[in-house]
Amino acid sequence: MSVQPVILTVLSVLWSSFMAFLSLTGGLVVFGFILGYLEGRSNSHMIRSFGLRGVYATAWLGTPIHELSHAALCLLFGHRVTGIQLFQRSDAHGTIGYVSHAYNPDSLYQRIGNFFIGTAPLFGGSLAILLFGRVLLPDTFQKMTALIFSSDQGFLWMDPQSWAFYSHRLAKVFFVLFSSVRPGDYRFWIFAMLAFCTASHMSLSMEDIRGAASGGGALVLLIVVINSLSAVLDPSLSGQTMLLIGRLNAYLLLMMGLAVFFSLIHLLISWGLDHLRRLAGK
């Protein structure tokens, strides 16, 4: 038996596994970094202007959503929640909310759960913004969700067509949001305030990142197993897996695109307030 086909198959499995892992996690890493940067800058401006009260002005909603997202994914992946604080005054470490949990390290499912539990605020915050839109702007919400969830087009990081699709679709989502809402409609401003509060506390803490990283290896192992079975039993399984990952990725990235937008607006507002404070102090 020739060794070359085996080597080629192994390399193919490893490459497809790498691409699947990149497609599944790349968006979370990039958007998590962007949201973290925006949140850090916004908090700096707000603290200079108002002290910690400036952070609490948005944290009263954003932090509970952040922590509830962790807790919900703990339950989904069978982890035991051992402690939870949805919102508190900042302690010596700057913590204003937390979720602690325990799991069975021998369970692959629960170990994989660490990745999704750690990144849960990115999912939960995005869904919360859509929920606020559903309640306050139902007509606009229906149009936006139709754009986000109706397409079968997926998003793969190494595919230029995916980037073109994502940019075009996200622009449409923003157009629907702002073209169908009248400035005098108080419901839009309530939605915007809730979205600011949520998006400005979606970023991941170092503890969140460490928790997610601890589940990354188990997630890679699962993907390699799936692709190995695909190579042996059904070559189409790998393609179906990538199609599913691509669709989920497209949905998630479109939702997080909204979160980044509102987080950017919050940064501009906090910068403006900080700038006015400095001018007033001269």
Looking at residue 66, what is its pLDDT? 93
* Residues of the chain above pLDDT 70, percent: 86
Average pLDDT score over the chain: 82
pLDDT (0 to 100) of residue 70: 93
Q: State residue 95's pLDDT score.
A: 77
Own/partner contacts of 137-146, CB < 8 Å, gap of 24 or more, are 137/181, 137/187, 137/188, 137/191, 139/180, 140/176, 140/177, 140/180, 140/181, 143/176, 143/180, 144/173, 144/176, 144/177
Q: Which residue has the tokens 């700057």?
A: 94
**Does residue 228 register a pLDDT over 60?**
yes
The average pLDDT across 105-122 equals: 89
Quick one: which H or E segment has residue 98? Answer: strand 98-102
Q: Are strands 98-102 and 80-85 parallel, antiparallel or unpaired?
A: antiparallel
Model confidence at 81, in pLDDT bands (50, 70, 90)? very high
Phi, psi of 50 (to 5 degrees): -130, 5
Does the pLDDT value for residue 2 go beyond 70? no
The pLDDT assigned to 156 comes to: 66
As a whole number of angstroms, the distance between CA 13 and CA 26 comes to 19
pLDDT digits over 124-157, tens only? Answer: 998 898 889 889 888 888 887 777 766 666 666 6
* 185-204 pLDDT, tens digit each: 888 889 889 998 999 899 88
Q: How far, CA to CA in Å, does 223 sit from each of 19, 90, 187, 205?
A: 10, 39, 44, 26
Q: At CA 230, angle to CA 229 and CA 235, rounded to 5?
A: 155
What is the band of 27 on the pLDDT scale with cuts at 50, 70, 90? confident
Confidence label for 79 from pLDDT (cuts 50, 70 and 90): very high
Burial class (CB in 10 A: 0-12, 13-18, 19+), 232: exposed
Reported as a pLDDT band with limits 50, 70 and 90, residue 242 is low
Cβ neighbours of residue 69 closer than 8 Å, sequence gap 6 or more: 120, 121, 123, 124, 125
Q: Given this model, what pLDDT does residue 239 score?
A: 65
Highest mean pLDDT among 2-11, 165-174, 259-268: 259-268
Fill in the DSSP letter of residue 79: P
Split at pLDDT 50, 70, 90, the class of 71 is very high
For range 244-261, the mean pLDDT? 78
The whole-angstrom separation of Cα 65 and Cα 129 is 10
Which has more confidence, 43 or 160?
43
Whether the per-residue pLDDT at 1 is higher than 60: the answer is no
How far is the C-alpha of 223 from the C-alpha of 230, rounded, in Å? Answer: 10
